[in-house]
Amino acid sequence: MMMTRIGELTAGEWCETIDGREWRFAPLSLADWAEFEARLVASRPDPLAVARDASESLPAAAHRGVLEAAFAEACRATRVTIDELVEFAASGAGTVLLCWLALRRHHPELSEADVAALISRWTDAEVSSAHTRLAGAPPGAYGPAKNSRRQATATSPSPGA
């Protein structure tokens, strides 16, 4: 019988045995990805507060210009780029969140802190494997989306829009 990795390619469920216990990971749903994106947005600093603090000593016209730029940034702040998603997924907090989202369906008793403690005992290869299964690639595999084709794909409207 020929074995395939179709489960990995389709983001199927999988199990890992860590410290003698079997952990069951579920594929991430659209709701999970929305929660991941919302957490990323919530982790950003408030651009208006940063601008207000940084521009207090500037002349009034310059202060206003800085605040206007910060307001424009605050309006954009609910949108997330592919570069931001990739960077957050590769971070320690992003790794914990991805794994917690995948584990919570079958292990609702786990907190994010529990998952962070679990991940801290993983090897780099195990972390990379989890990223591949959950996000499609290990951390850093894509790097920043700098080439024009990826950026065009990531920002193009859908057909018929």
Domain range list for the chain: 27-80, 81-151
Q: Which residue has the higher pLDDT, 98 or 137?
A: 98
pLDDT digits over 30-73, tens only? 899 999 999 998 887 777 777 777 777 778 787 778 778 777 77
Q: What is the mean pLDDT of residues 68-90?
A: 80
Question: How confident is the model at residue 14, as a pLDDT?
Answer: 81
**pTM of structure:** 0.66
Q: What is the pLDDT of residue 112?
A: 96
pLDDT at 67: 76
Gap between the Cα atoms of 81 and 6, Å rounded:
28
Helices H / strands E in the chain, number of each: 9, 2
Reply yes or no on whether the pLDDT at 153 is more than 80. no
Is the CB of residue 17 less than 8 Å from the CB of residue 23? yes
Structure tokens at 79: 């949108």
Residue-wise pLDDT tens digits, 88-130: 988 889 999 999 999 999 999 999 999 999 999 888 888 888 8
